[in-house]
Amino acid sequence: MKPKRIILIRHGQSLGNINKSIYAKLPDYQLPLTEEGKTQAENCGKTLKNVTKNEECIFYVSPLWRTRETYQGIIKSFDKSLIDTREEPRIREQEWGHLKSIEECEIIDKARDDFGPFYYRIPNGESAADVYDRVSDFCGTLHRDFEKPDFPENCIVVTHGMTIRLFLMKWLHWIVEEFDNLENPDNCAIIILEKRGNEKYKLISKLKKRKLNGNSYK
């Protein structure tokens, strides 16, 4: 049964969002939420509960610590009997390699923008195109799950900013330039795809656009 909604949620503010030098001390997957991030997650849960009300939900959650913490904050507003959860490694963050300094982060950020966000492969890491491939495989799993007669009314994906953009690119058949022209959603932003009468999903949330500057998106 196709769900009424596919809902994409970016994790709350993490330590890496406010202090890039932490990447030299902790691997990306271990970065925790800040106190502000935990508050964002709980507020997100309250907003999400107003959307889903007493409908059943299934959560697909990236295994990184900040996404799991976000999920735990969100479900404080939910009746546990109405939710199911699956940890899903394919929707993890883009692999950033093994960073050693904030300067290295800044160099990669600039190189990616100059080369093109979709195609640039981070040294010892991934390109957005690589992430697109695993997100596409995850979408195939969703389509198969939707065929189950008892699939919940709401499919909720707790993941990362770039992964959300790539999911939308795959699901809505965007071209590369449409992906490149978007900013990541804010921390704990709720992005909703709603099923219409033709069984297709329509994006009903507004997305932030990037400014075009020559061949780069700033």
Top pLDDT among 130 and 124 is at 130
pLDDT mean over 180-189: 95
143, 112, 148: which is closest to 127 by C-alpha? 112
- The most confident of the ranges 99-108, 110-119, 146-155 is 146-155
Domains of the chain: which residue ranges? 5-217
Report the sign of the C-alpha dihedral through residues 173, 177, 181, 182, in that order.
positive
Tally the C-alpha atoms within 13 A of residue 159's C-alpha that lie toward its C-beta.
Answer: 30
pLDDT mean over 100-129: 88
Residue 95: CB atoms within 10 A of its CB come to 16
Q: Is residue 215 very low, low, confident or very high in pLDDT (cuts 50, 70, 90)?
A: very low
- In this prediction, residue 151 carries a pLDDT of 98
Active-site residue, from 11, 42, 153, 160: 11
Per the DSSP assignment, residues forming a β-bridge with 201 are: 195
- Whether 143 sits among the annotated catalytic residues: the reply is no
Query: Is residue 85 predicted with pLDDT exceeding 50?
Result: yes
Name the average pLDDT for the chain. Answer: 93
129 phi/psi in degrees, rounded to 5: -60, -35
Strands 57-61 and 83-87, bridge-based pairing: parallel
Active-site residue, from 69, 88, 93, 153: 93
- Whether 93 sits among the annotated catalytic residues: the reply is yes
- In this prediction, residue 216 carries a pLDDT of 36
15 close to 22: Cβ distance less than 8 angstroms: yes
The CA distance from 192 to 189, in Å, is 10
Q: Is residue 211 very low, low, confident or very high in pLDDT (cuts 50, 70, 90)?
A: low
- In this prediction, residue 80 carries a pLDDT of 95
CATH topology of domain 5-217: Rossmann fold (3.40.50)
Which of 45-49, 59-63, 100-104 is least confident?
100-104
- In this prediction, residue 22 carries a pLDDT of 87
pLDDT tens track for 2-59: 999 999 999 999 999 998 888 888 899 999 999 999 999 999 999 999 999 999 999 9
pLDDT tens track for 133-145: 999 999 999 999 9
- In this prediction, residue 112 carries a pLDDT of 87
Can you spell out the DSSP letters for 64-129?
SHHHHHHHHHHGGGS-GGGEEEEE-GGGSPPP------HHHHHHHHHHHHHH-TTTPPPTTS--HH
